[in-house]
Every structure is written in C-alpha cells, then in structure tokens.
Structure 1
Amino acid sequence: MAGGTTLQKAIDLATKATTEDKAKNYEEALKYYEHAIEFFIHSIKYEAQGEKAKECIRQKCQQYLDRAEKLKAYLKKGKKKPVADGEEGSKDDKKSGDSGDSDTDSDPEKKKLQSRLEGAIVIEKPNIKWTDVAGLDLAKEALKEAVILPIKFPHLFTGKRIPWKGILLFGPPGTGKSYLAKAVATEANNSNFLSVSSSDLVSKWLGESEKLVKNLFELARQRKPSIIFIDEIDSLCSSRSDNESESARRIKTEFLVQMQGVSNDNDGILVLGATNIPWVLDAAIRRRFEKRIYIGLPEEHARGTMFKIHLGNTAHNLTEEDFRKLAAETEGYSGADISIIVRDALMQPVRLVQTATHFKRVTGPSPKDPSVIVDDLLTPCSPGDPEAIEMSWTQVESDKLYDPPVTMKHMLKSLATTRPTVNEDDMSKLDKFKEDFGQEG
C-alpha cells in the first residue's frame, strides 16, 4: 500500500464499522472495527508525524477497540439484548466476562501495555525475497533452518531436535542485517513478525520498561509462531556494570529471564537480534543467542549483483564486463556504500539535463507510454553537435524529455567521490569477535 494511504484506509474502515454497528449487523461491524484498528496501529508506527498526531490516533483507536471488545463479548455469549454503544453492561456481564480468554481482558494495565506493543507487529509484508539479498548464503540457510523449516515441516522438529531460539546477526553497518530480517518477515508467511527497538521498550516510568519486555514476549507467545526482531540490540543489552542505573539493569535482567527463564516456554518463538558492535553485549545475552552469524562486507561477485539490483530497470548501457570492473574496484565497500554510489550515478543524467545549454531531437519511447515510439523527444547534447538546438531544460515540455542513460563514466565518477564507511580498525574488532564467539555468514 502506498505511503500516506494507511490512515485514510483506517478511517474508511471505521466509518463502515460504525454504519454496520448502527444497523445492528454486529458481526460485520466487528470485522470492520478489527481491520480499522490494525491499520490505525500501522499508521501510528510508520506514517504519523509528531506525538500530537499519534496521540490523537491512539485515542480513536482505543475507542474503537473498546467497542470491538463489547461486540465480541456480545457475539460470544449470544445475548438476546445487544449492548448499546457506550454502555458498560451489567455487573453479571463483568463478572462472567470472557472467562475463556487470557488474563489480558481482566488486567487493564496489561492490556494497555500490549496494545502499545501491537504497533511492533508488521502488518504489511516488506516484499523482500531471499533472491533479493545478494550473497550471505550461510546466513540465509541458518534463518531458513530456524524459521521456515519448523513451520513447513513441524514433524522434523520433535524430541531432541528443536529449532534455534536465538540468532544474532553482527557485522559492519550497511551489510544487510536489517534487510535479512525484512526477508524473513516476507518469507515466513505464517509467522507473526514483531520488529521492536529500544524506544518501544524503554519508558520513563519506573518499572514499566520491564513490564513492556515481559508483555512483548507474552504477545509473541499468544501469537506463535512468532519472530521478535530487535535492531541495534546493543542499546538494550550492553554489559552489566556496577555504575549503571538500576532501571537499565532491571531491563537486562527481564530480557534474560524472558529469553531463557525457568518458567517461560519459548517454543515457536525466535529472537532475532542485529548489532554493529557485538563486543559490548552482556555475556549472558550472548549465550542466549545460540547462533551468532557474522554478516561481513560483500564479496566481489555479490558486489557485482548489488550494482545490478540497485540499477533496477533504469536505462543504462553497462555491460557484464563493466559490472565486473565495478565489483573489483569496490573492495571494502558495504552494500549501503554501493547503494549510495548507484544513487549518485543515477542523479548524474538529471544534473546533465539541468546544466545543458543545447538539446537535440531523438527517437525513443514516450515518457507517458513506453510502448509508443515517438521521434520528437529532446535530449541534452554538446553545443558542437550538428543537430544541436540552443535551449534550456525549462523550455522542454514535460513529456518530450528523453533522459540520457546511465553510463560507466557516471559510475566511475560517483565511485571516485564516495568513500567506504568502514575502516580497518572496525573490521579488526569484528573479526576478533567472530573468531572468539561467532561463525561466518
């Protein structure tokens, strides 16, 4: 779904829900309320700008959630008299409640914390497949082993053969750790994917942060099979020390207990962590991540593939030999660095259009309809070209511009001005951690 439309979709669904509610079509109304709440939560997480807007959406969301709960209770009990919108119901109703449901319904504080975490659930799949991730074959195999196989072939994982419960992806920035997590969210169709960061779990109120951590894992258990992805996990689980705050220590302790505590059943739950600085993680947290996979800088063949992926369907005249040359010259560059090189190269034809003083007529596909070939397009050219027409880009009609293709010259120019973001000191620390605690990805 296109950005900016989720909130409007939520409002439309809520309008339909209230219409069905007034018409006493309670089952239909409940469906619309539930769908509207999902889209409201998605909007809070990814679209709403500013705390004021988020708070306003939260209030409406809570209002629809309360009404949905009443309708759910009414439909479950099959009452003859429907609960009026805004009524609290009788005392007997409150006592009997949803006795078959979890404690969440009877504990308003717990319900509030879990509704706050609902925004961590990825509703819209990122649509990134394994094939979109260049290289990282060992990391992909480990994730398939931990996520995809147990869902597809549960009979394989019985007795002592159990899937991995914790996987840590570590390596230099920009190498695809979060991108791999997005691929997992897409490929694990039957799993609930909860993507959280420190801002989702840290609260200014005393004791609330630990409850948020506990409720995160309870939410995952209710919805299993589940994947909990924690990006930059070092911000939550750094080494414990005597001079750290009490609240930070309590968050780490709760995390340790929830990941592998005596009374916690984590079957069907995978905790996926990502970090650039794994050496700051607490030893107990490190132990709970059974697989620690090093996501290193891309190899030469992977770099060549990345150039092709980032170019996409943009017009270019690069050959296979050009891609091999670019891959050879980008030793030490991360996937993010290559993305920046390509983006800069893609902008160079645009800069050429801006600075051009002469254009010439060419034949090519129409910008409005690529299937139609026209012969009156204009493209930048040198003043010495025999067909050159002196004019600036402001005089070119919007549907008459033929954008120049990306060339190897553009790529080399961008490469000359873009430096890698990782140096040898960073790599030596990561290599040391890999030798001591990790495995190659």
Structure 2
Amino acid sequence: MNITRENIDELNAVLKVDIAKEDYSGKVEKVLKDYRKNANIPGFRKGHVPMGMVKKQYGKAVLVDEVNKLLQDALNKYLTEEKLDVLGNPLPKEQENFDWDSDNYTFEFELGLSPQFEVSLDNEKPITHYNIVAGDEMIDNQVKTLQKQYGKLVSKESAEEGDQLSGTFKNEAEGIENKTTLPLEKVKNKEPFLGAKAGDTVKVSTKGLFEDDHQLMDFLEVEHDKAHGLDVEVEFHVEEVNTQELADLDQELFDKLFGEGEVTSVTELKEKIKEDAAKQFEQQSDQQLLNDVTEMLIENTQFDLPKEFLQKWIQTAGEKELSAEEAQEEYEKSEKGLRFQLIEGKLIQDNNLEVKFEDLKAFAKERIKEQMAQFGQMNPEEKELDDIAARILSRQDEVKRLSEQLMNQKLLSLYKEKVNLEEKEVTYEEFVKEVYE
C-alpha cells in the first residue's frame, strides 16, 4: 500500500491511496473461509460448501468490505503520523471507470486543512468587565422578602390591599373546583375582592383576572391549553382573610438567617445580602466577559477557511444529504462558531491549558458541594463527595460536560490575566439595560 499527498494550496490537499492485491487478499480469504464453515446452503452439509460457490455468492461484498476497512485504517494512521490538522473528514473523489474486478485499486480523497494563524490577546480598545452589585432598591426588596418569609399570618375581618384569601374557586359547568390561597398582589382585578369577609362569595371573570393567563393553571387548576384565553365566570368562596405580618428585624431573625452572631444589625444584614448577590451576579458577569472576548478574538483574528471543501463535507456529514444550496446556508450559519473553535484550540495549545483528571475530580466535588448546600447539607463528608464524584465521572457525557466547564474557567482566568479590561461597577438593572437593551 502506498499513500501520497498533493497539496493544492495551503488549505486543500488530495490524498492518493494505492492498494495492491497482496494488501487485502489474505484478509478476504480468511473471511470467506469463516463464511464457508458456517454457510447453510441447501444440498451441502455445513462446512462443506465448495469455496467457489462461497466466493461467487459472497466474494464481491467481502472484498469491498475488507478494502474499505483497510482504507479507513490507512487514512487514520496516515493523518496521525503526518500530524495533519484537518477539518471535517476526508472526502472520496469520484473516479470514472473504477473497477472492483481489478486486482489493484487507487482511491483519491480531498482534504480540508486547518489554517495556520496566530492569536493575540492584546486589544487596543479595552473590554468592559462588569462588577454587578445589588442596588439599594433590590436590597430593600430582599429585606422585605425575608421579613415576609419569616413573618406570620394574622387573621383579619375583611380584605385589603396586600392581604391573602384562602378559599375555593368554582365553576361547575367548566369542572373547576380548586381550593387555594390567593395573594391579592397576584390579582390584576382586585376590586371584587377588597372588603371580602370569611363566608362571602366573590364572582369574577377569568379574563384579565391575572397579568398572565398561565396563573389560572395554578389558582384554578386548569390545563395549559384551556388557561389561554379562558373567559368564564367563577365564584370564589372565601374561607379566611389573612394579612402577612412582617418579621421584626431583630437578632432572632438574623440568627435564623445566618447563624448565631454572624449578623448583628440591619446595616450588616444589608451588607450580607449585597455580598451574596454579588456572588450570584459574578456568573453573569463572567459569561458576558467570555462573550465579549469571543467577539473580539473572532474580529481580530483573520484567516481563510477551505470554504468549498467544507460545504461539500456538510452536504454528506448529516443523516440526510443536503443540497448544495442547503449546505452553503448551513456553512454560513456555522462559520463563526467554527472560526472560534479553531481560535480557542490555538489558545489552549499556545498557553498549555489542559484538564487533568485530578482537576476534574476536584471541580466535580465543588459542584456537588454547591448543590448539596442548596438543600441544607453544608458540611458533607469527604468520602461521600468522593463516592458521588466517582459515579458522575464514570459517565462519558458528564465527563465531557464538566471538562468543557472547567476549560471555560481556565480560559476565563487567562482572559482576566492577559486581555485589556476596564472594570465597571453597575447595578443589576444597569447591567441588563446596558447589555441586553
């Protein structure tokens, strides 16, 4: 067997693979002998079918199969040994007058080669790195939420703004009968409920009862499709009227929230809320930085791609073969992503970034600890963490997902170290307005 390469240009090449009879004949003979041993052909005992008959029936299919296997192995080995960085897979060229009845074969394959380029993290115009903080209004709202959460319900005679009613929604014709607690702050049309007392029946229309029709699913327990545009009259039979009495901002509440003595004043409470919010916002800030650096790198790193080859490859790469026009459209949609994939690969190579198993295990354990903390398990044992991490890392899809997340963290650290950044403190509302609007 002989493989030669002709470079058409810097991005395209043709591989020529010559396969002689001695390369495949032994393998074909072995397979046919195995067929003969197991062949069931009427008139012959098992294992005694004439080889000529076996060759006539199976010879061509076995020959094609074995040559294709040999060809695939040879291509993979050649690309590895030559350290060729290719895009997509080798594409077989159409060959006129190809004859499987010959003893020797020649195959040709088109290759799309990765471009050679350099990546620079030096950017003249600084990229904004947002430090997102909770504004005073957000902090005050969070304090109120905590007071409500740890407050208590107090029964009262008649309903006012901000109260909540316990009772049952009914409409016999529509099959609606659902006992629920109805916070008046959720209701768009509050007027019929104001002044209601235990034992009263309030009649309202479902149309416009809430800002979002989806809430009818929760409070009336109707199906999703039915909730959209539902316009019927329902009765609400009031059983209780309650108001939420806010918890006092005292040491008892502080200790419940953060542990004994950790917070001792409203000022410290607000500072703690601000710190916790900053940690939550950090992920959004980092993701935006990744997005902005990605855009900068794509814009500043110029190189050509083997466009025609890639469009041909896209035509046949999926389950369904695409037309030339469909492949061109698909290429145009994916070109930007492909460019960054190559840029990212170059950055990883140039900066010797790698995901080692021990790093991956430690990363997985940190993720597990975060999830357990959400359910109140603050100090899990090391053995428990090791056991859960081992189960997770035994699954290939989880290893891939976590490896990508960890590599993103390594890239993020690289960007923070080397990219020209401009720190900017903003409230969450300012961040949303500046980035998304």
TM-score range, shorter-chain basis? under 0.3
TM-score with structure 1 setting the length: 0.21
Kindly indicate which of the two structures has a greater share of residues assigned to strand.
2
Bigger Rg, structure 1 or 2: 2
* TM-score, L = length of structure 2: 0.21
